[in-house]
Structure 1
Amino acid sequence: MSLTNFIKRIQDIMRKDKGVGTNDVLILEQLVWLLFLFIYDYKEEEWELYEDDFQSIIPEELRWRNWAVDHKDGNALTGDSLLNFVDQNLLPILKNLEIDEATERRKSIVKSIFEDANNYMKNGTYFRQLVNLINEMNFEEIEERHAFNDIYEEMLKGLQTAGNNGQYFTPRALTAFIAEIMDLKIGDTVADFASGTGGFLTSAYEILKKQAKTVEDNEIINKSIYGAEKFHLPYLLGVTNLILHGIDVPNLEHKNSFSDNVREFTEKDKASVIMMNPPFGSKSEDVAIQSNFPAEFQSSETADLFMALILHRIKVNGRVGIILPDGFMFGDGVKQRLKEKLLNEFNLHTIIRLPGSVFAPYTSIATNILFFDYNQIGTQDIWYFEVPLPKGYKAFSKTKPMLSKHFDPVREWWNNRKESEYSWKVTKEDIIKRGYNLDIKNPNKPEEESHDPVVLLQQYKAVCEEVKRLQDTLIEELKSLL
C-alpha cells in the first residue's frame, strides 16, 4: 500500500465534506476516533480468541464489525441513515458508558476516548467512503500494520499545524534521542506528564521491547509506561499511537497533571525516568491549580509548574530529560528558585543547546535539553554541548526537519567528554555567581554575524516571542502584587 496515496485518498474524501472541509484539526479529530474503533475492534478479536469469558464494553450493535464493514449485500449503512446512527446512537452511547473502579482499564479507556468526540461530517455518503477506506487495511498482516503505523505518524506531523498556546509537538528525532540517552532498562518506570501524542512514551517502548525475552517482561514494560494529557485531541491521538505500537492497554490518563497536590505524592506516584517537552509560553493555570504547589513555585506559566512537578515526582536516583526554552535558562523569580533547588538537590550534568529552528515554523524560540539525576547531593559541574546545524543548512524547516543523524556529534562526545568547538564545562560556583543564570553562550566558538534574511527573520521572531513572554510574566507579577 502506498502511504502517500492512502493519505491523499483520506484527504480527498474528507475535504469534500462541508462539515470538515480543509480544517486539518477537524479532519484529524474525526478520523482518529474512527481509527480507534477500527483498531480496538481488531484488539477485541484477539482478546476473544485467547479469553473464553471476554465481553466487550461496547454494545454489540455499536462494535465496528457490526456497522462499519460493508459486506456488499446492499445492507451497509450509508447516507442519512449512517449519519443518524452515528449522531443518535454510536456517539451518545459510547460517551455515557457505565464504568466504575472495577472496570478494566482496557474497557474504561473507550469512554475516556469518546467523552469529547464529535462527528463533524455532514455527508453520509462521504462518511461511508471514509469508513470503507479504513477497512481496506488488513491488520492481520504485519506489513499492513507497519504501513498503518507510518500513516499514523504522518498524520501526527500534520497535527503540528494546529500548534497554539504553547502546544508544540516534539519531533520524533528529539524524543528518540532523549529516550536513547536515558539508558532505559526493564523495571524502569517511565513517565511524561504532558504526553501529547505519546512521542516520548512510544520512543521508550521501542527501546524496552527489544530487551523483552519473556511474556512477563512484556507485561512489566506495558505497566511501567505512564502518561497524562490535559487536552482531548492529543490524548486521543496518544492512546491510539500507543496501541498501534503494541501496548494493548495504554496507561495514559486524560487529566491535568497539576490537579494533584505535589505535597501528597508518595513513592508509588513517582517515576524512575521522566522525559518531557512541557508546553511553554502558556499562562493557562489559575490560582486554584497553583495552590497545589509550594508557595515559592506557584506560577501561571505551565513550563514552570511542570518543572516543579518533575522535581516532586522523580524517584531518588531517577533520571530526567526535559526540553525547556531559553527563557527558563536566564529567568528569575520562580524560575530562579527552581534552578536553585535543581542545582542544590539534583545533579544537572548536561545541557544540550538546540538550534533555534528545531520547532520551526511553529516557533523560533531557542530550546535546550536538560539532563539531570536526583542524587540528593547537588550539582558539581555542568557540561554544555551546542548542536551544530548540518553542513549546508541555514536552519531546520518543515521540509528539512531535524533527524536522528543530526545528534551523531552528541553521541560521539557523550561518553568521552572533552572541551571542543561545540562543548564546554561550567562549575556550579560559576552558575551561582551568575545568579543561577544557565544561559551560557559557547565560549569556544567565535560569534558569527549572519546576514542571511531567513536566519535574521528567525532571530527577529525569536526576540519578539521572548519579549511577549517577558511582558506576560511582568503582567502576572504585577497582578500578584496588586
Structure 2
Amino acid sequence: MITGELKNKVDRVWETFWTGGITNPLTVIEQFTYLLYIKTLDDNEKKKEMDAELLGLDFEGIFPKDKPQLRWSIFSNMGPEEMFKVVSEEVFPFIKNLGGKQTVYSKFMRDAIFVIPTASLLARVVAGINGLLQTSSSTGNKDTLGDLYEYLLSKLSTAGTNGQFRTPRHIIEMIVRLMKPTPEDIIVDPAAGSAGFLVASGEYLKENHNDMFLIQSLREHFNQTMFHGFEMDGTMLRIGAMNMMLHGVDNPNIDYRDSLSEQNKDTEQYTLVLANPPFKGSLDYESVSADLLKVTKTKKTELLFLALFLRMLKKGGRCASIVPDGVLFGSSNAHKSIRKEIVDDHKLEAIISMPSGVFKPYAGVSTAIMIFTKTGSGGTDNVWFYDMKADGFSLDDKRNPIDANDIPEILERFHNLEGEKSRKRTDQSFFVSVDEIRNNGYDLSINKYKEIEYEVVEYEKPEVILEKIIILEKGILKGLEEMERLIK
C-alpha cells in the first residue's frame, strides 16, 4: 500500500489528467497505464543491456537501434510539442504492435486509443510519472509499481453495470494466502476484472517459492501457462492484462470471453479457481451453457458461476470464491441443488462469513468466502465456519484503517484446523458436521449453527426500584424548595 509523499504525487498526476479534460476514471487509468508500461519497457531494457555488458554477451533489444526516440529516457527530455508528436505518432503505434500481431499484448492493445489531447498535458503527466517513480525507488519497496497500480485501481469507486465491483486488495491477499498457490498450479479467474487474484497469486509465489524461477520449466509455466483470466469488458481486459505484465508475467492468458456462455468450453483444465464473480446484472439466459443449467437451472449468475467452477476444475482442484449470503441459505431449487452438489459430490471445506461493510463504498452486500475441492466422489465431513467481524478497516463508506482485524486469525486457524475441533458454537469459529448440514436442508449460513451466549442480568424487584425513584424525587423537590427560598 502506498502512503505519504508517493500517494500525494499519484493524486497530483491524477488531478493533472482531470484538469486537462480527461475525467473518466477508467480512461485515466488506461492512459496512465500506457505511459507506465512505456517507461517500464525502457527500464527493463536498460537492465538487460547492463547485464549483457557485464557478462560480455550480445544483446538484441526490443527498441530499433535507429529509433532511440521511442525510449522513455529519450523522449521524456524533449520539449512538449516534439514529445507529443513522437509519442502519438511513433511510440504508441510501436507498443501496439510490439512483438507482432500474435502477442497477448498487441491483441489487447488493438482497440486502444491514445487520447491525451495536448502537448502540455502529456509533458506534465510524463514529468509527474518521472517524479513519482523516483520517489518509489527511494522507498526500497520491491513492488512499488504494483502498489501504485493497485492504488490507481482503487479509484474505481462505482460498481459496474453487471454487478461487478472491485475486490479490496487485502481481501484478495487473504484468499490467496488461504489457498497457498503452488508453482505447479494452473490458476483461473473466470470473472477477472483487473486481474487482482491472478496478480496476488503471482506475488505470493515470488514471495514463498522464489526458487521456482531457477527451474526453467517452472519459470516458463509462470510466464506462459499458469495464469488464466476471462473478462467481457474490453477496457477492464486491457487493464487486467497490463496489471499482469506490470507485475512481471510475460504472457498472461487474459481473454475476452463470456464465461457462462456456450463459447466457454473449458472442462477440467485448472487446478485452482480464485474469483469474485458478478452477483447480479444482465444475463442472456438463452446463451448460457446447457451443461451449467443441468447443475442449477437459474438466471442467477452467482449460482451459475459455482457450477462453472466445478466444470473447469480438474479432479483434486481447489476453489475459493466470494459469494453473496443468499447463496448460502436461498430456498429455491437452484440454490439447494448447487449447495447439495458441492456438499455431497465434492468436498466443502470452509465458509468464512464477512461483514457487509467489506465492499463499501462500492456495495453494502453481505458476502462469504466458500472454499471447496472438486472430487466427484464426495468427501465433505466437517465444514469449518468463521464469523469475520473486522478486516482492519472501518465498515462504513470511509473505510479508514482500524486496529480490529480478524484476517491474521483466520489464516492461522484455517491452516491449523486440528486445533479447531474443540471449539464451541459460541466461538468465532467452529466445525459443523455434514450430517447436520444435510438435516438442515444444506443451509450454509453461519447463523444457522452459531450459538449466542446470553448473560443473565438480575434486576431489583419493582417495589425496590419504585422506592428508590421516590427517594430521588423527594431529593429533587427538596432542592427546588431550597432554590425557591434563595430566590425570594
**Scaled by the length of structure 1, what TM-score is found?**
0.77
Per-residue Cα deviation, 1:146-166 (whole angstroms, up to 9, x for no partner): 433332221111123454531
Provide closer, same or farther for how the CA distance between residues 437 and 162 of structure 1 changes in structure 2, counting only shifts above 3 A.
closer
Structure 2: where are the runs of 5+ without partners?
456-488
1:132 is matched with which residue? Answer: 127
**Letter in structure 2 aligned against 1:301:** K
SS class of match (2:200)? helix
Are 1:201 and 2:198 an aligned pair? yes
SS class of match (1:185)? coil
1:226 is matched with which residue? Answer: 228
Distance in 2 of aligned mates of 1:340 and 1:63 = 62
Alignment of 1:166-185 (within 5 A): 166-185=163-182
Contact 1:179 1:203 in 2 (8 A): yes
**Letter in structure 1 aligned against 2:431:** K
Structure 1: where are the runs of 5+ without partners?
449-482
Distance in 1 of aligned mates of 2:346 and 2:362 = 32
Pairing partner for 1:438 from 429, 441, 444? 444
**Letter in structure 1 aligned against 2:210:** A
SS class of match (2:271)? strand
Per-residue Cα deviation, 1:82-139 (whole angstroms, up to 9, x for no partner): 7xx73x7766786688956xx4xxxx12323323323443333112221333344369
Cα deviation for residue 261 of structure 1 reads: 5.3
SS class of match (2:239)? helix
1:237 is matched with which residue? Answer: 239
1:252 is matched with which residue? Answer: 254
Provide closer, same or farther for how the CA distance between residues 114 and 220 of structure 1 changes in structure 2, counting only shifts above 3 A.
closer
Per-residue Cα deviation, 1:156-181 (whole angstroms, up to 9, x for no partner): 11123454531111111211111112
SS class of match (1:148)? helix
Distance in 1 of aligned mates of 2:64 and 2:321 = 38
Distance in 2 of aligned mates of 1:319 and 1:218 = 22
Provide closer, same or farther for how the CA distance between residues 119 and 390 of structure 1 changes in structure 2, counting only shifts above 3 A.
closer
Pairing partner for 1:14 from 17, 23, 35? 17
Alignment of 1:199-348 (within 5 A): 199-209=196-206, 210-213=208-211, 214-216=214-216, 217-222=218-223, 223-259=225-261, 264-267=265-268, 270-291=269-290, 293-331=292-330, 332-348=332-348
Cα deviation for residue 407 of structure 1 reads: 1.1
Pairing partner for 1:5 from 8, 20, 43? 8
- Percent of pairs identical after alignment? 25
Distance in 1 of aligned mates of 2:68 and 2:256 = 23
Cα deviation for residue 197 of structure 1 reads: 1.7
Provide closer, same or farther for how the CA distance between residues 161 and 446 of structure 1 changes in structure 2, counting only shifts above 3 A.
farther
- Larger CA Rg, structure 1 vs 2: 2
Distance in 1 of aligned mates of 2:284 and 2:19 = 39
SS class of match (1:316)? strand
Distance in 1 of aligned mates of 2:160 and 2:74 = 32
Contact 1:190 1:272 in 2 (8 A): yes
Per-residue Cα deviation, 1:42-65 (whole angstroms, up to 9, x for no partner): 445566776968574999869841
Provide closer, same or farther for how the CA distance between residues 186 and 144 of structure 1 changes in structure 2, counting only shifts above 3 A.
closer
SS class of match (1:2)? helix
Distance in 2 of aligned mates of 1:59 and 1:327 = 59
Provide closer, same or farther for how the CA distance between residues 72 and 92 of structure 1 changes in structure 2, counting only shifts above 3 A.
closer
Alignment of 1:330-369 (within 5 A): 330-331=329-330, 332-369=332-369
Distance in 2 of aligned mates of 1:33 and 1:188 = 30
Contact 2:159 2:363 in 1 (8 A): no
Alignment of 1:413-432 (within 5 A): 413-414=413-414, 415=416, 416-417=419-420, 418-419=423-424, 420-432=426-438
**Letter in structure 2 aligned against 1:342:** I
Cα deviation for residue 439 of structure 1 reads: 2.3
2:466 is matched with which residue? Answer: none
Distance in 2 of aligned mates of 1:229 and 1:401 = 31
Per-residue Cα deviation, 1:175-232 (whole angstroms, up to 9, x for no partner): 1111112133221222212122222112212221231321424333333232222222
Cα deviation for residue 307 of structure 1 reads: 1.2
**Scaled by the length of structure 2, what TM-score is found?**
0.76
SS class of match (1:284)? coil
1:27 is matched with which residue? Answer: 28
Root-mean-square deviation (Å): 3.6
Distance in 2 of aligned mates of 1:407 and 1:312 = 30
Distance in 2 of aligned mates of 1:58 and 1:91 = 14
Distance in 1 of aligned mates of 2:48 and 2:260 = 35
**Letter in structure 1 aligned against 2:153:** L
Provide closer, same or farther for how the CA distance between residues 77 and 173 of structure 1 changes in structure 2, counting only shifts above 3 A.
closer
SS class of match (1:322)? strand
**Letter in structure 1 aligned against 2:358:** V
Q: Which moved more, 1:228-237 or 1:358-367?
A: 228-237
SS class of match (1:155)? helix
